[in-house]
């Protein structure tokens, strides 16, 4: 059953379906039948139709006259395209944050984050646990900067680029650590940590242009790592264009 919220019934049903698509409960090519979804969510077909049309606009489902709505299969190109857009958007985040300046609490949180990521990334021990910890710290670093920019439109658009069921869950955390960790090795995490240090230094110096450029380059480096290692992590999807 859907949980009550501030939006329409259709938006609530869309959130219910979206969470299950991104978390992998509704895998690619799943046929989303209106009656079945209605029964599961305790709603009529009207809000279900509204929800499916919304998810189609978000490109999470595909409609065809013969089959109706099915869960979209994401390819390497989809992921690379999303990272390319995200690089530009998060560059804007850093530009705004540097121009505005950081408050003391956010600055302290970012400094602590970078220091902790450095301790993990440059440790002599590296395994799935260390990989997961670095991913969590990386996620929190980017979230802190997005919050510092305080631009809801920008934050919402960035969230759209992170709706990638192969990599992230509905909370934009890692979907499958063992598989995703094959996309980024310890050297990638160390490079990422150094990038974070440079980005934060530029923001603290109120150098908006450098902060924007550094973040854009940082995300594009991650994009390159994904392009290089995708087949190893997701062999069943590697043939997709």
Q: How far is CA 153 from the centre of its chain?
A: 16
- The one-character DSSP state at 167 is T
Q: How far is CA 14 from the centre of its chain?
A: 18
pLDDT of residue 127: 82
For 61, the 3-state DSSP assignment is: strand
- Stretch(es) of the chain classified as CATH 1.10.10.10: 9-71
User: Count of residues for the chain?
Assistant: 241
Do residues 33 and 67 make contact, with C-beta atoms less than 8 angstroms apart? no
What is the helix (H) or strand (E) element at residue 32, kind and residue range? none
Backbone phi, psi, residue 61, to 5°: -130, 160
pLDDT of residue 236: 60
What architecture does CATH give domain 76-233?
Answer: Up-down Bundle (1.20)
Q: What is the pTM of this model?
A: 0.76
- Stretch(es) of the chain classified as CATH 1.20.120.530: 76-233
What does the alpha-carbon distance between residue 21 and residue 184 come to, in Å, rounded to a whole number?
Answer: 24
pLDDT of residue 166: 53
Give the distance between the most distant pair of CA atoms in the chain.
57
What does the alpha-carbon distance between residue 90 and residue 86 come to, in Å, rounded to a whole number?
Answer: 6
Class of domain 9-71: mainly alpha
pLDDT by residue for the chain (241 residues), tens only, comes to 666 565 789 999 998 998 888 777 898 889 999 999 999 999 999 999 999 999 998 888 999 998 899 998 888 888 899 999 999 999 999 999 999 999 999 999 999 999 999 999 999 888 878 888 888 899 999 999 999 999 999 999 998 888 776 555 545 555 555 566 666 778 888 999 999 999 999 999 999 999 999 999 999 999 998 888 777 766 666 554 4
Tell me the CA distances in angstroms from 52 to 33, 85, 169, one per residue in order.
10, 24, 19
What does the alpha-carbon distance between residue 97 and residue 206 come to, in Å, rounded to a whole number?
Answer: 8
pLDDT of residue 167: 58
Q: What's the number of CA atoms in the CB half-sphere (13 Å) around residue 217?
A: 12
């Amino acid at each position: 059953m859907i949980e009550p919220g501030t939006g329409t019934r259709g938006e609530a049903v869309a959130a219910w379906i979206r969470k299950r698509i991104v978390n992998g409960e509704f895998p690619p090519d799943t046929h989303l039948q209106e009656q079945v979804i209605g029964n599961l969510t305790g709603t009529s077909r009207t809000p279900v139709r509204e929800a499916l049309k919304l998810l189609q606009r978000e490109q999470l489902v595909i409609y065809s006259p013969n089959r109706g709505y099915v869960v979209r299969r994401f390819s390497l190109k989809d992921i690379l395209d999303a990272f390319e857009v995200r690089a530009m958007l998060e560059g804007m985040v850093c530009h705004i944050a540097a121009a505005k300046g950081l408050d003391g609490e956010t600055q302290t949180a970012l400094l602590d984050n970078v220091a902790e990521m450095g301790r993990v990334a440059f440790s002599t021990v590296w395994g799935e646990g260390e990989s997961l910890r670095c991913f969590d710290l990386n996620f929190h670093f980017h979230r802190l900067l997005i919050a510092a920019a305080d631009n809801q439109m920008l934050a919402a658009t960035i969230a759209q680029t992170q709706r990638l069921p192969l990599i992230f869950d509905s909370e934009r955390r890692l979907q499958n650590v063992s598989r995703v960790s094959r996309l980024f090795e310890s050297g990638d995490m160390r490079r990422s940590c150094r990038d974070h240090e440079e980005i934060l230094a530029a923001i603290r110096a109120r150098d908006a242009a450098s902060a924007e450029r550094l973040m854009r380059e940082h995300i594009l480096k991650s994009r390159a790592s994904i392009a290089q290692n995708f087949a190893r992590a997701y062999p069943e999807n590697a043939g997709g264009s």
